[in-house]
Amino acid sequence: MPAQAVKSWSEAIRVYTNPRVFAMLFLGFSAGLPFLLVFSTLSAWLHDVGIERSVIGFFSWVGITYSIKVFWAPVIDRLPIPYLTRKIGKRRSWMLLAQMGIASGLIGMAVTDPASHIQIVALFALLVAFSSATQDISIDAYRIEALDKIYQGAMATTYVLGYRLALLAAGAGAFYVASYQNWSFAYLTMAALMLTGILTTLIIREPTVIKDPATIEREARLEKTLGITGSSGILRKISAWFAYAVIAPFVDFIQRNGKTAITILALIAVYKISDITMGVMANPFYLDLGFSKIEIANITKIFGFFMTIAGAALGGVMVIRYGIMKPLILGAVMIASTNLLFALLALTEPNISLLAFVISADNLSGGLATSVFIAYLSSLTNTAYTATQYALFSSLMTLPAKFLGGFSGIIVDTQGYFSFFLIAAALGTPAILLSIHLLRKQSSLDHG
């Protein structure tokens, strides 16, 4: 199929039979598996062996690696791994190295007694988190480079499905294994499951990336501007590497998009605000309404899981069918609208059917918006700097939303849940307006 929206729904659905789209299911599983193993699942293990809560809290700091991965993304974009890169390619070599790091860290945690060697467990957890963030960078870069931009919604869908299945394995699955055996055996089992990613990395083909003439020209101008053209020796090599790996990705994005770059970055910063802000207070809201923990778990896990996957799949098909911008607007509208459903829920008596409907609508919207937004972010990258630019976009996507989410409890305490969800819905308005503006701008350029 061409790299543009297609006319038939059957063509759009058949995209999921593409081998590279299907491979993202297993890479998504590999990406999702380590996440809970250094967060909530690890916290449960440490609690079981009598580690103080204050110490358990410090372990959450390993998660900082996921937020600062943009700092070493340029290395992954530019630095080859001796032997491996020559044998299997740049993206696959970094993926494989990261996956081996995750598996090694999990094995190290499994064979270490946290009750007597908590510092060593912390170091192994840091290795897992760092390797996991590195794997995320590599997989994102591979996904973007493996197929045309129009396929990115479908690639995101299978990735999300794999990721969600991995969360079940690393969450409920690890608990089940630990209950019947012990935590060490559970972590060894999780390390074995990393073979899913390792084998997939060895099977898939390295994407072919050709640097376009415009990028080569921009890099030449950058060299001249920085005064490193014609210089020699180690200083030139260091300067050139820094220019290509760190400065060029940012210059490239600004030059390709001109004044629109500011609008695009603003959209990236606000698109998930409504969704993430609401999510902070979701579980306290359900409990305050009077629903039991079992009811909440059953509905959020069962309905939530399947509706998220359904939404993501629908989003992937819509990107193939209509392109990216129209589904992007729909996703923004749906995210804001579901907050209004939560506001309605806040005014009613506890009703399990209504709760299931609202959570289903919320997860359907979230799944659709996520797959479409990932496709949009992917479309913004230049394959010469895929890892660096996408890591930058993904960091910008979550940081403002997480910051504002920190004030959600204050709003609930002072204004109540009904007003909070109305405010959360209103926070989705900028994303809708910016998406519409960018669609109109794109249409005018296409017809100009």
363's CB contacts (< 8 A; 6+ apart) are 303, 304, 305, 307, 308, 311
Q: In this structure, are residues 340 and 421 in contact, taking their beta carbons and an 8 Å threshold?
A: yes
Q: How many CA atoms lie within 13 A of 213 on its CB side?
A: 0
The confidence score (pLDDT) of residue 1 equals 40
The confidence score (pLDDT) of residue 94 equals 97
C-alpha R_g of the chain: 23
Query: Which class in CATH covers the domain with range 259-447?
Result: mainly alpha
d(C-alpha 131, C-alpha 65), whole Å: 9
d(C-alpha 82, C-alpha 104), whole Å: 20
Q: Where are the alpha helices (DSSP H) in 38-116?
A: 40-48, 53-58, 64-67, 73-78, 84-88, 90-110
d(C-alpha 133, C-alpha 73), whole Å: 10
The confidence score (pLDDT) of residue 396 equals 84
- The structural domains of the chain, with segments of one domain joined by +, span 9-203, 259-447
366's CB contacts (< 8 A; 6+ apart) are 275, 308, 311, 335
DSSP-assigned letter for residue 385: S
Query: Which class in CATH covers the domain with range 9-203?
Result: mainly alpha
d(C-alpha 442, C-alpha 448), whole Å: 10
- Helix-helix angle 417-426:273-280, to 10 degrees: 160
Q: In this structure, are residues 398 and 270 in contact, taking their beta carbons and an 8 Å threshold?
A: no
Sign of the C-alpha dihedral computed for residues 86, 90, 93 and 97 taken in this order: positive
The confidence score (pLDDT) of residue 2 equals 41
Question: b or e along 233-270 (b: 16 or more beta carbons within 10 Å of the residue's beta carbon)?
Answer: eeeeeebbeebbbbebbebbbeeeeeeeeeebbbbbbb
Q: In this structure, are residues 134 and 69 in contact, taking their beta carbons and an 8 Å threshold?
A: yes
d(C-alpha 20, C-alpha 4), whole Å: 18
Among the listed residues 196, 145, 156, 144, the one whose alpha carbon sits nearest the alpha carbon of residue 173: 196
Largest Cα–Cα distance in the chain?
74
- Helix-helix angle 325-346:429-447, to 10 degrees: 160
The confidence score (pLDDT) of residue 3 equals 45
Total residue count of the chain as it appears in this document: 448
CA end-to-end distance (rounded Å), the chain = 26
Query: Which residues of the chain carry a pLDDT beneath 50?
Result: 1-3
- Token duo for residue 439: 């669609």
Looking at residue 298, its amino acid is N
- Token duo for residue 31: 């990406």
Among the listed residues 107, 135, 140, 109, the one whose alpha carbon sits nearest the alpha carbon of residue 122: 109
The confidence score (pLDDT) of residue 321 equals 87
186's CB contacts (< 8 A; 6+ apart) are 45, 110, 174, 175, 177, 178
d(C-alpha 418, C-alpha 297), whole Å: 23
Same fold for the pair 9-203 and 259-447: yes
